[in-house]
Amino acid sequence: MALQALTLAVIATGALLVQPAYAAVTSFYVDPVNGRDGNSGTSAEAAVKTIQRAQEKVRAVNSAMSGDIVVNLRGGIYALTTPINFTTEDSGSNGHSVIYRAYGTETPVVTSGKTITGWTAADNGQYKAPLAELNLRQMYVNGVRGTRARYPDIGSNFQLQSSDLEKRVLRVLGTQVDDWENFSQVEMVLQLQWAENFLRLKSYTNANGLASVSIQDREADILFKRPYPRLSNGAPLHFENAHEFLTEPGEFYVDTVEKVVYYLPRAGENMSTAIVQAPTLETLFRIKGTDLDNPLHNLNFSGITFTQTTWMEATKHGLLNGQGGNYNLSADTNNNQYVDRPPAGVYVAYADAVSFTGNTFTQMGATALDVHRGVHNSTVTGNVVHDTAGNGIMVGKFSDPTVEFHTVYNPPISPEGEDVREVVAGITVTNNLINRVAQDYLGTAGINAGFIKDTTINHNDISDGAWAGISLGWGW
């Protein structure tokens, strides 16, 4: 499969670290193909089927460890319908670690991808398939990312002609807007300096060769008040997600009224045999201790492929990037801005001595890996991060949703009384191969670090991003 090929290719170049040999007192085995959750899990022949079942077995024996516990994940697909939550109960004890790792050279793939079936021929060489309640912003055909139908096509943009803050309209050339089917589903993607904006359309009028475009109120309440990034004439823009835009092979269009996805196949793609998948979960692994006094600790992950997560914020509410993927909740004309943080395929908080070594994160709908708050003395080493919609790796706090985002973070002084242990400290992010980040959310980075302490970020190979390789700091 495509993900295995990517991982093997990277291993061949020496970009991944060789997995260390762990001496373990206790081993468990998980096999998504031949395992059964009724098995003991204590040998490859008696493997359990799910990671969740292995987790239960670890929790039964990890309170008084005399050596590491290793959970060996056999190759295959671990399909999730809900995130797996690792809590303080999953910690190592007595200085030993609980280790979830690939078995030998096999490739365990943890995914929320759902296969889309029932493709039938439609007009103009297109195919369509029912979605039921599924909605999506990313779709992969035989492992290859599709393109949301857009106008103009990739390689070109329109330009903003002018804007009217009082009337709350954006003006483009009159020939560039039409009465597209399901007009309110169409988004204007407007690029302003360092930040992209997904603006759901509301209506438009034509006069004197210009179209005055109104956007949905939630986006308008931010865009026409926020002074930065500047709303400047000449800013590049394009439109996404109208059936009329579906003109190039590899493009797809989601009709949420009809609950159907349309796709125009690339050369060589046969929709009767193609494997078409869309992600369903924002987060695959949520690794979070109880609180600062009861952190999760001594938990390691190695050799696992994490793939196919989603994020539907722009579809539901529009999306305006404040900076670095931290998206606006509100703004005013005095440049007071409040933001929230994008989700991550693997999320970490309130944790000590956690490590990620030699994993692959790919086809992520927002951030790949987020080391957020209250995390200490942990490592992110020798991983591959490839093809993410947003940031590759996020480290540390930026701004909590209730704190104005220019506020310097310096606990316990600011915010007053906050526990200094909230600060992410003692993190090492090194020898990671990161490329093709910011595929959808252009103002995001390979490594995006906010307020951190005693942290080392070095020897990372970062390429093919839209905004920043490494962004460090926040609060201005």
| Average pLDDT of the segment spanning 469-475 | 94
- Is the predicted pLDDT of residue 19 greater than 50, yes or no? no
Strands (DSSP E) contained in 40-141 are 68-73, 76-79, 84-86, 98-102, 108-111, 114-115, 120-121, 127-130, 140-141
Residue 185's pLDDT band, with cuts at 50, 70 and 90, is: very high
Q: Supply the pTM of this predicted model.
A: 0.94
Q: Residue range 229-242: average pLDDT?
A: 97
User: Is pLDDT at 416 greater than 70 in this prediction?
Assistant: yes
pLDDT digits (tens, 9 = 90+) for 367-393: 999 999 999 999 999 999 999 999 999
pLDDT of residue 25: 74
Q: In the CATH scheme, what is the code of domain 2-113+279-472?
A: 2.160.20.10
The answer to whether residues 40 and 463 touch, using CB atoms and an 8 Å cutoff, is no
Would the pLDDT of 159 be above 50?
Answer: yes
Over 60: is that where the pLDDT of 24 sits? no
pLDDT of residue 5: 43
Q: Are 235 and 163 in contact (CB under 8 A)?
A: no
CA quadruple 121, 268, 250, 177: dihedral sign: negative
Please check the confidence at residue 61 and state whether its pLDDT lies above 90: yes
Percent of all residues in the chain with a pLDDT value above 90, rounded to a whole number = 94
pLDDT of residue 20: 45
Give the model's confidence band at 124: pLDDT under 50 very low, under 70 low, under 90 confident, else very high.
very high
With a cut of 90, say whether residue 135 has pLDDT above it. yes
| 263 touches 276 (CB < 8 A) | yes
Q: Would you list the domain boundaries of the chain?
A: 2-113+279-472, 117-277
pLDDT digits (tens, 9 = 90+) for 422-456: 999 999 999 999 999 999 999 999 999 999 999 99
Ranges assigned E (strand) in 103-259:
108-111, 114-115, 120-121, 127-130, 140-141, 144-145, 147-148, 150-151, 158-159, 162-164, 169-173, 187-192, 195-207, 210-215, 236-240, 251-255
- Stretch 309-329: mean pLDDT, rounded? 98
Q: What is the DSSP letter of 43?
A: S
Q: Region 300-308: what's the mean pLDDT?
A: 98
**Which of the four pLDDT bands, split at 50, 70 and 90, describes residue 22?**
very low
Query: Where residue 475 falls among pLDDT bands split at 50, 70, 90?
Result: confident
